[in-house]
């Protein structure tokens, strides 16, 4: 996801993986041409089917528009199985959250995505996660400046604390060890301390 426009009236974000789909569909078409020529039909048809499956998996697009004048956020997401549309008033938005991937990514920059938090739900702005924590936090700051221009901003978040509080202890320990170069025992103790603080 990236910011494509930030003016006095609108902030627009876009996420596109359609180019991957086009590439996969093109490769599948090439495999079918090879089959038409008459070479090793079965293996090329299987390869074409795999390429079409990958193409469909990445066949999605998201557009998010923050209307600064109308104080609303419009989300439009398209993927191979559905189209999702949502409109939220700025007053209904409680936070913009950077969510960490549930895949157990333990790099120093975990895979993450932006989500809008309301009183009743957390709405991801994209389906996919990107391995760039610093960039996601930078975009979060920009969105917070837009949505909470006249109000107090929500506090910054820490992915280690979020994982620990959510009960994803193994992922929290792994991320903390990678980020701060700690041994396993120290990292486990720190995560347990975070969990105990959250329970109070």
| pLDDT tens digits along 154-187 | 877 777 888 888 888 888 888 888 778 889 999 9
Q: Work out whether the CA dihedral 29, 1, 113, 107 comes out positive or negative.
A: positive
Q: How far apart are CA 123 and CA 97, in angstroms?
A: 10
**pLDDT score for 136:** 85
What torsion, rounded to 10 degrees, do the Cα atoms 89, 95, 101, 102 define? -100
**pLDDT score for 60:** 81
Whether the pLDDT of residue 82 is over 60: the answer is yes
Q: Mean pLDDT across the chain, nearest whole number?
A: 84
pTM value > 0.85? no
- Find all residues with CB under 8 Å of 105, minimum gap 6, and list them: 111, 129, 131, 175
Q: Is 84 helix (H, G, I), strand (E, B) or coil?
A: strand
Which tokens hold the place of 56? 């469909």
């Amino acid at each position: 996801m990236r910011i494509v426009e930030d003016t006095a009236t609108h902030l627009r974000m876009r996420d596109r993986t359609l180019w991957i789909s086009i590439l996969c569909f093109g490769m599948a078409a090439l495999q079918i041409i090879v089959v038409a020529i008459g070479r090793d039909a079965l293996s090329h048809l299987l390869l074409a089917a795999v390429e079409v499956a990958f193409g469909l998996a990445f066949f999605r697009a998201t557009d998010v528009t923050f209307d600064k004048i109308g104080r609303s956020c419009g989300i439009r997401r398209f993927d191979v199985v559905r189209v999702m549309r949502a409109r939220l008033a700025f007053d209904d938005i409680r936070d913009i959250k950077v969510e960490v991937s549930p895949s157990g990514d333990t790099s120093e920059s975990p895979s993450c995505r932006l989500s809008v938090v309301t009183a009743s739900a957390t709405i991801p702005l994209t389906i996919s996660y990107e391995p760039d924590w610093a960039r996601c936090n930078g975009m979060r700051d920009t969105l917070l400046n837009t949505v909470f221009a006249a109000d107090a901003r929500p506090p910054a978040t820490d992915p280690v604390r979020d994982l620990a509080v959510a009960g994803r202890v193994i992922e929290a320990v792994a991320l903390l060890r990678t980020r701060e170069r700690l041994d396993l025992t120290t990292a486990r103790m720190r995560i347990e301390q975070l969990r105990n603080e959250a329970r109070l």
